[in-house]
Amino acid sequence: MPELPDVEGFRRVLDSCVRGRSIERVEVADPGVLREVTPWRLERALVGRCFAEPRRHGKWLIAATDGPVVLLHFGMTGSLVCCSPADPLGRHDRVAFVAGERQLRYRDQRKLQGIRLVADQDGVRRALSELGPDALDVGPAEFDELIDGRRARIKAVLMDQSVLAGLGNLLADEILWRARVAPDRQAAGLAAEERRRIHRAMRRVLRDSVRVGHIPAGSTWLTGRRDSPDPACPRCGTRLRRGRITGRTTLWCPHCQGEGQALSGAAGVPAVEQDPSDDPGRE
């Protein structure tokens, strides 16, 4: 689940749960989720400290305190939950930050070392230095620059965290579907008009999903179709195509987005360019 909108949701959970509260204890049920920090050192560094306003960059949650900073990543299955001491420890509750009657629990089915500890803002900067700008902060001009000259397929570029931070597999499919661009088009081969459509779709998809804290599975979203065995395009009803890009399952509509360059030939801009007959999709 966790892509940018989900992490933004976790940020709000942290904010309302423990911001301004003093950390009494850090309970590490499973040290497997800690990266380069021992349970003992984590506890030592945080006890007595106060959670400040949390920030987010891409899929990273930046949990600052009046001392060190905790960095949280949620991999594919992680989440953050606000609990009371009475709530029984779930099977996948790996770490609990205890602050009085509230406790913030890091929950993850897997153990992909999503929790880091850094001393200060400079440590945050160093730890996240490989990331591109947060996808929500990228305007149209910057988007163009980021895409410019990339030989990879557009979906791979959108998911590349060093280019743009925050988009994952589901969002990338959703955005390209809305922009009516096939996911296997080479980024460098996109027309200015297509890049603009992708950027606008990105803004729209992010805005709508950040609002609810996850990617909506509504009837006008591609994402909800993912699990059905024979999914149809929410816009035109055409049977969706399923493929694999950069090792991830990719869904697209051959009618709205074109077959993709592999099938449309070297000269071809797919028949997406003229948009008279297609209705512009509704929310």
Partner DNA sequence: CTCGTTGTTTCGAG
Partner DNA sequence: ACTCGAAACAACGA
- Chain positions contacting DNA, by CB under 7 A: 1-3, 32, 58-59, 73, 75-77, 91-92, 109-112, 130, 150-153, 156-157, 159-161, 167-170, 187, 226, 244, 246-249
E strand or H helix at 6: helix 4-18
From CA 163, how far away is CA 143, in angstroms rounded? 9
Q: Give whichever of 153 and 197 is closer to DNA, judged by the CB atom.
A: 153
* Under 8 Å between Cβ of 240 and 259: no
Min dist. Cβ of residue 258 to DNA (A): 18
* Distance separating alpha carbons of residues 249 and 233, to the nearest angstrom: 16
Which of 3, 8, 174, 194 is the catalytic position?
A: 3
Annotated catalytic residue within 2, 5, 54, 234: 2
Shortest Å, Cβ 22 to DNA: 30
99/250 with CB nearer DNA: 250
From the candidates 5, 11, 56, 59, give the one annotated as an active-site residue.
59
In the complex, least distance from residue 135 CB atom to DNA, rounded to whole angstroms: 11
Q: How is residue 265 written in tokens?
A: 């030939």
CB 154 within 8 A of CB 181: yes
Q: Can you give 49-107 as a three-state secondary structure string?
A: CEECCCEEECCEEEEEECCCEEEEECCCCCEEEEECCCCCCCCCEEEEEEECCEEEEEE
3 a catalytic residue: yes
Q: Which of 19, 21, 203, 248 is catalytic?
A: 248
Nearer to DNA, 250 or 257 (CB): 250
Phi, psi of 270 (to 5 degrees): -55, 160
Asked about 111 being catalytic, the answer comes back as no
Report the candidate in 67, 74, 79 with the shortest Cα–Cα distance to residue 104.
Answer: 79
Nearer to DNA, 188 or 271 (CB): 188
Q: Which pair of structure tokens corresponds to residue 260?
A: 């993709």
Looking at beta carbons only, is 170 or 272 nearer to DNA?
Answer: 170
Q: For the CB of residue 23, give the shortest distance to DNA in the complex, in Å.
A: 26
- Tokens at residue 193, please? 């008009």
Q: At its nearest, how many Å lie between DNA and the CB of residue 36? A: 11
* Whether residue 155 lies in the annotated active site: no
Please give the angle made by the CA atoms of 156, 162 and 168, to the nearest 5 degrees. Answer: 50
Residues noted as catalytic: 2-3, 59, 248
